[in-house]
Structure 1
Amino acid sequence: MQRYFISPEQRDRDRIRISGEDVHHIKNVMRSRPGDQLVCCDGRGNDYLAEIIEIDPAAVLCRVIDKSSSLGEPETKVTIAQSLPKGDKLEWILQKGTEIGAVRFLPFVSERTIVKIDARKAAKKRERWQRIVKEAAEQAHRGFIPEVASPVSWTGLLEEIHRTEEALIAYEKGGVPLAKSLAQISSKQILLIIGPEGGFTESEVAGAQRAGAIPVTLGSRILRTETASLAALSCILFARNDLGGETK
């Protein structure tokens, strides 16, 4: 059943008013009609089964039939800190990372990052990225929409490492095997740091270690940056029984 995210303000007791771009999707893509049902998620762990009672050009009015808890959120909260890759690779990472279970994305610029984002275009880029994440969250039946943070510098990333409970930095030249590192940490908050196409420099890895990050290896094969982030995320959630286990 089709899902849509709403803000708590859009629900008034047993009525939900859907507005914005979702109105077009309901009317013209799904071709829904009064009497059809859908699910609205408030991003706070609540799902509402609702029936459409009225459709107008600006809004879709629904009646709440049932309320239940959102079941699509992993217990382990993984933030993917991704050095900006070339082309549309970041959009792929955002979409698939959301489907797998990442809770936040932090793009950053490192020494070998090729992509440079103009400050004037950053807000527009982030708006597009957030829309991609929203659509992926709806498709994957997530309980809330992961955040896409504004891109930060390497210094900004080091500050993020200082603030987080556990940080893992993928390093193709060595480190603790990812599975072993996960067995040694119990935190439910993990910052996963993935480098650009050219990888991290030795000085960057050393700086990340001083800030508190643990260098980890994903194995003997060298993965593309967009593969590494999704493979590592999957490994983390699988190890924590948040992926590949029984449905909730």
Structure 2
Amino acid sequence: MQRYFVTPEQFTDNTVVLTGDDAHHASRVMRMEAGDALIVSDGRSRVAQAEIRSLSPGKVEAEVTEWLPLSGEPRWSATVAQSLPKGDKMEIVIQKGTEIGAVSFLPFQSQRMIVQYDAKKEAKRIERWSKIAKEAAEQAHRSRIPAIEPVASWRELVARISGFDLALFCYEKEGGGHGLRDAIASRAKGWGDGERTILLIVGPEGGFTEREAEEAEKAGAVVVGLGKRILRTETAAMVGLSCLMYESGEMGGV
């Protein structure tokens, strides 16, 4: 069933209204008609199945037929901190990371990143990335849209490490030594069933410097490897996040 995200204001007690791109998508792309059902979420606390009563390219009105439980959200709240990669790789990280289960993305600057950061283009890029996260969340049947945070400096990122229950610094020089799984297992033993916050820090194409690794570790991050192979930056983010979801029981068993 097609799923859409709306603002809380678009909900009333028993109706919901789609506007803009969502209304166009429902009426023109999906060719929905009066009587068709869809699922709508306000991205916070309400998810409903609704039946379309009227529609046009600019507005779709639907009546709530059933309130649904929140679903599709991970047990652990994982934020992917990704050093800005070149080209459209950040879009890939956000799209696939949203599907896997990230709750937010924190792009940041690091010493060896290849892309030239342009603060003037930041608003447009974040708008683009937010749209990608929304579409991926709809496709993956998430109940919430992951947040896209403003681009942080290296110092700003390091200062935020202590605010997470666990920060994992993915470092290729760690190789097959101190692995991500071991780091999670050692920390998660006493966590119980409560929600935990995890920061997954991934470097750029050129990797991290030894000084960056030292600074992150000093701030409280656990320096980990993602296996014996060297991964592309966009692959590293997906592998690390998938491992987190597995260890939290997202794939069953725990």
Give the TM-score band, short-chain normalised.
over 0.9
- Please give the alpha-carbon distance, in whole angstroms, between the structure 2 residues aligned to 1:194 and 1:98: 16
- Residue 217 of structure 2: aligned partner: 209
TM-score (norm 1): 0.96
CA-to-aligned-CA distance 1:142-192 (integer Å, 9 cap, x gap): 010000111111011111113222110001111521111010113611000
- Residue 40 of structure 2: aligned partner: 40
TM-score (norm 2): 0.93
Shift of 1:26: 0.6
- Please give the alpha-carbon distance, in whole angstroms, between the structure 2 residues aligned to 1:214 and 1:116: 28
- Residue 144 of structure 2: aligned partner: 144
- Please give the alpha-carbon distance, in whole angstroms, between the structure 2 residues aligned to 1:91 and 1:57: 28
- Please give the alpha-carbon distance, in whole angstroms, between the structure 1 residues aligned to 2:44 and 2:82: 26
- Please give the alpha-carbon distance, in whole angstroms, between the structure 1 residues aligned to 2:225 and 2:209: 15
- Please give the alpha-carbon distance, in whole angstroms, between the structure 1 residues aligned to 2:58 and 2:209: 52
1:240 to 236, 240, 248: 248
CA RMSD of aligned residues (A): 1.2
Percent sequence identity is 50
- Residue 225 of structure 1: aligned partner: 233
Other structure's SS at 2:85 match:
coil
Other structure's SS at 2:141 match:
coil
Name segments (4+ residues, structure 1) moved above 4 Å.
none
CA-to-aligned-CA distance 1:38-64 (integer Å, 9 cap, x gap): 000121243211000011343110001
- Please give the alpha-carbon distance, in whole angstroms, between the structure 2 residues aligned to 1:7 and 1:72: 19
- Please give the alpha-carbon distance, in whole angstroms, between the structure 2 residues aligned to 1:59 and 1:173: 54
- Please give the alpha-carbon distance, in whole angstroms, between the structure 1 residues aligned to 2:227 and 2:58: 52
Q: Within 5 Å, give how 1:1-248 maps onto structure 2.
A: 1-174=1-174, 176-186=178-188, 188-242=196-250, 244-245=251-252
User: Greater CA deviation, 90-99 or 173-182?
Assistant: 173-182
- Please give the alpha-carbon distance, in whole angstroms, between the structure 2 residues aligned to 1:94 and 1:100: 10
- Please give the alpha-carbon distance, in whole angstroms, between the structure 2 residues aligned to 1:54 and 1:154: 50
Tell me how many residue pairs correspond in the alignment. Answer: 245
- Please give the alpha-carbon distance, in whole angstroms, between the structure 2 residues aligned to 1:40 and 1:176: 43
- Please give the alpha-carbon distance, in whole angstroms, between the structure 2 residues aligned to 1:56 and 1:97: 33
- Please give the alpha-carbon distance, in whole angstroms, between the structure 1 residues aligned to 2:252 and 2:95: 22
CA-to-aligned-CA distance 1:214-246 (integer Å, 9 cap, x gap): 10011111111111110010011101111x227
- Please give the alpha-carbon distance, in whole angstroms, between the structure 1 residues aligned to 2:50 and 2:83: 40
User: Greater CA deviation, 127-136 or 43-52?
Assistant: 43-52
- Please give the alpha-carbon distance, in whole angstroms, between the structure 2 residues aligned to 1:117 and 1:57: 38
- Please give the alpha-carbon distance, in whole angstroms, between the structure 2 residues aligned to 1:162 and 1:240: 21
- Please give the alpha-carbon distance, in whole angstroms, between the structure 2 residues aligned to 1:143 and 1:12: 18
- Please give the alpha-carbon distance, in whole angstroms, between the structure 1 residues aligned to 2:42 and 2:123: 25
In the alignment, structure 2 segments of 5+ residues that lack a partner are none
In the alignment, structure 1 segments of 5+ residues that lack a partner are none
